[in-house]
Amino acid sequence: MPRIIPQVNPHLPGEAFFWEAGPVGVLLLHGFTATPAEVRPLGQFLHARGFTVAGPLLAGHGTTPQDLNRTRWQDWVQDAEASYRKLMARCDTVFLGGESMGGLLALYLAAEHPQSAGVLAYAPALVTGPSIGPYLLPVLAPFIPLLIKPRRPLILADERWQGYPVNPLRAVGQLFRLQRLVRRRLPIIRQPVLIVQGRLDEVVHPCVPDQVYQAVKSTLKEVHWMANSHHCVLLDGEWERAAQLTLDFIQKVVGTG
């Protein structure tokens, strides 16, 4: 019987959310091993300002790391697609957003749905840290299904983040596949794109914002760096600035404010 590995911060609300309001919708997708708790503060910020907001719980998350090891990247896309379609049925305009793997999924959906209004990518996980590369992973994954995440000094975002304290290695392989697919699809994207990343991000490589900026064919595209933020830029000390940048960007695109 597999060992039960409790989530970090199980007391936080990590369930999916769908909050109705005005005709502009925003999809917010959480990252790898996380839950919607990761994007909930931004969701609350936007909902309070009249936006309809959805934050789904992606397959394999919010249960056990073993469940995540049984998922494929297509399962995450399917869940993101279902929330996008629910928003489209309710709203006139929908923005695609997400943090880390969620930002990667938002870019994937933007390539698939050119009618979407724009992309809100927070530390999109296009190139991730060097801990286990795609060439070593197939050798390790059959023998080491779960790898404990490296310890580091606690930061503010850690108190607000919910998810698994381990990386399920088979699922990491699926994340690598999704990265390759998104890289090939970036030139298809023409919608407005907002990219926000922390200067202290220890997970997503600092080359990513420029990679995305250069590859997409969007006329309106912005990169903003949070000088004192780590990877979870929507939970760290500058999250309210990131939220205000998001609001300003959306209003710029829809022509209000």
- Mean pLDDT value across residues 152-166: 92
Question: Rounded CA gap, 100 and 229, in Å?
Answer: 14
Q: Which amino acid is at 224?
A: H
pLDDT tier at 132 (50, 70, 90 boundaries)? low
Helix axes 101-112, 169-185, angle to 10 degrees: 40
Q: Can you give the pLDDT at residue 120?
A: 98
- How is the chain split into domains, by residue range? 17-254
Determine the pLDDT at residue 58. Answer: 98
Q: What is the pLDDT of residue 86?
A: 98
Q: How confident is the model at residue 257, as a pLDDT?
A: 42
Amino acid 158: pLDDT: 94
Q: Measure the CA–CA gap between 250 and 248, rounded to whole angstroms.
A: 6
Q: Average pLDDT over the chain, rounded to whole? A: 93
Q: Percent of the chain at pLDDT above 70?
A: 92
By mean pLDDT, which of 7-11, 135-139, 227-231 is the weakest? 135-139
Q: For domain 17-254, is the CATH number 3.40.50.1820?
A: yes
- Report residue 255's pLDDT band, with 50, 70 and 90 as the boundaries: confident
Q: What is the pLDDT of residue 153?
A: 80
Model confidence, pTM? 0.95
Q: Over 60: is that where the pLDDT of 44 sits?
A: yes
pLDDT > 70? residue 256: no
Is the pLDDT assigned to residue 195 strictly greater than 80? yes
Catalytic residue positions, numbered: 100, 201, 231
Q: What percent of the chain has pLDDT over 90?
A: 85
Residues 102-111 pLDDT 10s = 999 999 999 9
Residue 240 is predicted with a pLDDT of 98
Average pLDDT estimate for 1-26: 91
Of residues 178 and 135, more confidence is placed in 178
Confidence of residue 87 (pLDDT cuts 50, 70, 90): very high
Please give, one letter per residue, the 3-state secondary structure of the chain.
Answer: CCCCCCCECCCCCCCCEEECCCCEEEEEECCCCECHHHCHHHHHHHHCCCCEEEECCCCCCCCCHHHHHCCCHHHHHHHHHHHHHHHHHHCCEEEEEEECHHHHHHHHHHHHCCCCCEEEEECCCCCECCCCCCCCHHHHCCCCCEEECCCCCCCHHHHHCCECCEEEHHHHHHHHHHHHHHHHHHHHCCCCEEEEEECCCCCECCCHHHHHHHHCCCCCEEEEEECCCCCCCCCCCCHHHHHHHHHHHHHHHHCCC
